[in-house]
DNA sequence: AACGGTTATCACAATCCTGTGATAATCTTC
DNA sequence: GAAGATTATCACAGGATTGTGATAACCGTT
């Protein structure tokens, strides 16, 4: 489950934010000061940090910097201070967003959802239906629960398909992007062989992902 | 230069946004309706789309969907309609942000900057000082202007280092993340060999990136 | 239905990749 | 500064990877 660190000194506010987040399927850890937040973070990291600016032992900006020195966890500022310069400062420190109170909880939830999805995509499975799971950072694929050894070339194909799901990728485009020379005649066959090998690893009678468009190229289906 | 497509039916507003963007080093293309925007986009893509919701020939949401069918170009809604449901709809369509008028131009510029930086990181060189350039999506590295053939293992090392620049990566951490078994004794040597090979490819007398911390692990320096 | 072009599949060989072993260089600590 | 441990470097061999060739299956058109 995804864990959100909520740094907010108003206990009532903190509790209600945590409550709503938990109702929406997140795990939450509350902190009411910078020191507490640091301790909590070092204990068990977090997937996202909701951060107030006004805290009893300093400004949230400082904690944000402290975080940036040790990780790239996304930070979302959540504050009553509606000053342009504060927002700018937040963004400069690498925050994902700067939301001022009062705010719509629905929109906050949506933003959190978007940020977490994005940060997972940055480092992790950009693709995961029940059957096939592809981990872009580790260059690994899993089909039907079993790790299928994807070779570098096959993985480049996967990445290309996932970056343009649903779109037709012509032979020329694929050849150019994977081999960086437009070897038109000869290597169209090599491409077919690699597609074939990839299919053999990730497909199934019930799970087809790559389809051929006669005379044109290939196309990725699914999600 | 990065190109921004500005879709806004109010000509005066459009012109002034474009003007400010250009002053800040972007290339801009104006469009005043959905049809125009579609035509302009098909001509020459864009790196980011600023999108109004109220347009003479429909709502911006439709154009956003149209875009999503052909690419993942980041979209930033920019609109006078300050309705919760509209913002939610925008985010659901995969927009990066939903800004309501009136807005601070400084903050808008900052947001654009952040979004563009992020989207470049998503797909491209996450690392580029003058000497070394690493393209994370194509799994390619270039040192001193020459393409150096990085093998899969070497590239996994690179990715790990870049994801945690400046931080000490212990042997155990590296072994676990690259080989997903904690082979402590035997493979510490294999790791050293791979580090050595990687260094041979990307380093130089004047350009050192990976440094050893005696008895601990390795660490990435630079940017 | 038959033909020509296109794609799929399989086996093979050259190449590349990568862990191991041996040895040299380097660093810590005393 | 010397001993002992740690890291760097080099060569090698087993194994994985990938393009090529041959053949079968497939598709669209006539």
pLDDT in tens, A58-77: 999 999 999 987 788 999 99
pLDDT band, residue A162 (cuts 50/70/90): confident
What pLDDT score was predicted for residue A204? Answer: 85
Structure tokens at B198: 């990687």
Q: Which nucleotides of strand D lie within 7 A of protein CB?
A: 6-11, 16-22, 27-28
Q: What is the count of residue pairs from A and B with beta carbons less than 8 Å apart?
A: 55
Work out the minimum CA distance from A11 to partner chain B, whole angstroms.
27
Work out the minimum CA distance from A108 to partner chain B, whole angstroms.
10
Q: Which helix (H) or strand (E) holds A209?
A: none
Q: Which residues of B touch A111 (CB under 8 A)?
A: 91
Statement: residue B26 has pLDDT above 60: yes
Of A110 and A149, which is predicted with more confidence? A110
Task: Return the sign of the alpha-carbon dihedral for residues A191, A196, A201, A207.
Answer: positive
User: CB distance B107–A122 less than 8 Å?
Assistant: no
pLDDT band, residue A185 (cuts 50/70/90): low
Pick the residue from chain B with its C-alpha nearest to A157.
B138
Q: Specify the residue for token string 């990730």.
A: A202
Statement: residue B105 has pLDDT above 80: yes
User: CB distance B152–A139 less than 8 Å?
Assistant: yes
pLDDT band, residue A172 (cuts 50/70/90): confident
Work out the minimum CA distance from A207 to partner chain B, whole angstroms.
23
If we measure between CA atoms, which residue out of B126, B130, B197, B213 comes closest to residue B162? Answer: B126
- Closest protein residue to C6 (Cα–C1'): A215
pLDDT band, residue B186 (cuts 50/70/90): low
Q: Which nucleotides of strand C lie within 7 A of protein CB?
A: 6-11, 16-22, 27-28
User: CB distance A84–B91 less than 8 Å?
Assistant: no
CA-to-C1' span, A163 to C16 (A): 28
Cα B136 to Cα A117, A187, A218, B108: the distances in Å are 19, 25, 23, 28
If we measure between CA atoms, which residue out of A80, A85, A74, A73 comes closest to residue A111? Answer: A74
pLDDT band, residue A196 (cuts 50/70/90): very high
What pLDDT score was predicted for residue B181? Answer: 58
Statement: residue B113 has pLDDT above 70: yes
What pLDDT score was predicted for residue A217? Answer: 92
User: CB distance A107–B84 less than 8 Å?
Assistant: yes
The arithmetic mean of pLDDT across residues B139-146, rounded, is: 85
The arithmetic mean of pLDDT across residues A171-200, rounded, is: 82
Q: Which domains does chain A have, with CATH numbers?
A: 3-123 (3.40.50.2300), 125-220 (1.10.10.10)
What pLDDT score was predicted for residue A176? Answer: 85
């Amino acid at each position: 489950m995804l864990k959100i660190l909520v740094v907010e000194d108003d206990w009532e506010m903190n509790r209600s934010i945590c409550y709503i987040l938990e109702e929406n399927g997140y795990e939450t850890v509350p902190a009411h000061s910078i020191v507490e937040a640091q301790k909590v973070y070092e204990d068990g990291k977090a997937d996202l940090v909701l951060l107030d600016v006004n805290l009893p032992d300093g400004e949230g900006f400082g904690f944000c910097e402290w975080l940036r020195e040790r990780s790239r966890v996304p930070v979302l500022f959540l504050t009553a201070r509606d000053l342009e310069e504060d927002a700018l400062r937040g963004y400069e420190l690498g925050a994902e967003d700067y939301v001022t109170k009062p705010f719509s909880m629905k929109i906050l939830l949506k933003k959190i959802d978007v940020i977490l999805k994005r940060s997972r995509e940055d480092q992790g499975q950009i693709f995961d239906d029940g059957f096939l799971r592809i981990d872009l950072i580790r260059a690994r694929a899993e089909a039907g629960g079993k790790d299928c050894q994807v070779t570098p070339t096959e993985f480049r194909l996967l990445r290309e398909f996932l970056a343009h799901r649903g779109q037709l990728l012509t032979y020329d485009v694929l050849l150019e992007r994977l081999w960086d020379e437009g070897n038109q005649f000869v290597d169209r066959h090599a491409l077919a062989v690699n597609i074939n090998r990839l299919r053999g690893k990730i497909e199934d009678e019930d799970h087809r992902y790559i389809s051929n468009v006669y005379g044109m190229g290939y196309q990725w289906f699914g999600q």
